[in-house]
Amino acid sequence: MRSFLAASILIALLSGCASGPLIDTTYQSRSQGSRVTFLILHYTALDFAKSLRTLTEDEVSSHYLVNDDPPVVYRLVDEWRRANHAGVSAWAGLNQLNATSIGIEIVNPGYRDTAEGRVWASYRGAQIDAVVALVKDIVARHDIRPDRILGHSDIAPQRKQDPGPRFPWKRLADEGLIPWPDPARVSAREAVYRDRLPDVAWFQQKLAQHGFTVPRTGQLDRETSNVIAAFQMKYRQDRFDGLPDAETAALLDVLVAMAAGR
Ligand SMILES: [Zn+2]
């Protein structure tokens, strides 16, 4: 009996050597969670063929690519592996978000500059339906917090504008996926700020509390203006000039208060 047991152990050890260490998964820790804590949305600024070639053959990549017509969702990188979509990035004091995020690239041309000014391309309804379904599925499986479903422009506002001012963030809010400022509260705060607009230092503080990386200079420098524009592109899409105003102050104030449970 003893020799039979010894032989069994020996065989197990030998087979272990051949195919990696033997792992017993009988027990599971209660304290654990997904390594994926951010979901980042992008537009490709390219047509489908060029998007696919870039994301599969170049140095950049994303977990998902959502075509416009037909609205097919392609998985290019397994969710458990790292893709290179975020670059130098930060949110709420966390940085290098490639390591902790899933990236979704949406086929959309972005913008083109014309004699009448910059024209941003809209998204097709069926494509957005596909994005929403994908986001819901990923968020449920990885238990991603609503305030960590973000655009590339949120996490890299000095470099990036995607998914741009035509991306329907409100639709994601209506689906219960992201926080959205309550309109009645925004109106009330806007009335207050219309009489007395907070100074730039106030905006910088609130933008930082919201999650952005923003200078704390008290000056409306280029960097601060870029962050304000990124915020406006999401929550006030008809005007994103990067200038502080009463409505932007109200939107920001209400969002920060909501995040703090107030
Ligand atoms: Zn991007």
Q: What is the pTM of this model?
A: 0.91
Could you give the residue numbers annotated as active site? 105
Tens of each residue's pLDDT in the chain, 262 residues = 555 555 555 555 555 556 899 999 999 999 999 999 999 999 999 999 999 999 999 999 999 999 999 999 999 999 999 999 999 999 999 999 999 999 999 999 999 999 999 999 999 999 999 999 999 999 999 999 999 999 999 999 999 999 999 999 999 999 999 999 999 999 999 999 999 999 999 999 999 999 999 999 999 999 999 999 999 999 999 999 999 999 999 999 999 999 999 8
Backbone dihedral angles phi then psi of residue 97, each to the nearest 5 degrees: -75, -5
Interior angle at CA 201, CA 197 and CA 204, nearest 5? 100
Residue ranges of the alpha helices (H) in the chain?
2-19, 48-57, 125-142, 152-155, 169-174, 183-195, 200-210, 222-235, 246-259
CA of 43 to the centre of ligand 1 (A): 6
Dist. CA 156 → ligand 1 center (Å): 9
Q: Point out which residues pair with 74 in neighbouring strands.
A: 65
User: What separation in Å is there between the alpha carbon of 144 and the centre of ligand 1?
Assistant: 19
Report how far ligand 1's centroid is from the alpha carbon of 59 (Å).
13
Taking ligand 1, which is a single-atom ion, which protein residues have CB atoms under 5 Å away? 42, 152, 162
Q: Is 7 helix (H, G, I), strand (E, B) or coil?
A: helix
Whole-Å CA distances, 243 to 49, 50, 52, 152? 37, 35, 36, 20
Which tokens belong to 129? 């339906």
Distance of CA 174 from the midpoint of ligand 1 (Å): 23
Write the burial class of residue 164 (CB in 10 Å: 0-12 exposed, 13-18 middle, 19+ buried): buried
Q: What is the 3-state secondary structure (H, E, C) of 217-230?
A: CCCCCHHHHHHHHH
CA separation for the pair 88, 92 (Å, rounded) = 14
Question: What is the SS3 assignment for 90?
Answer: strand
Centre of ligand 1 to C-alpha 165, Å, is 13
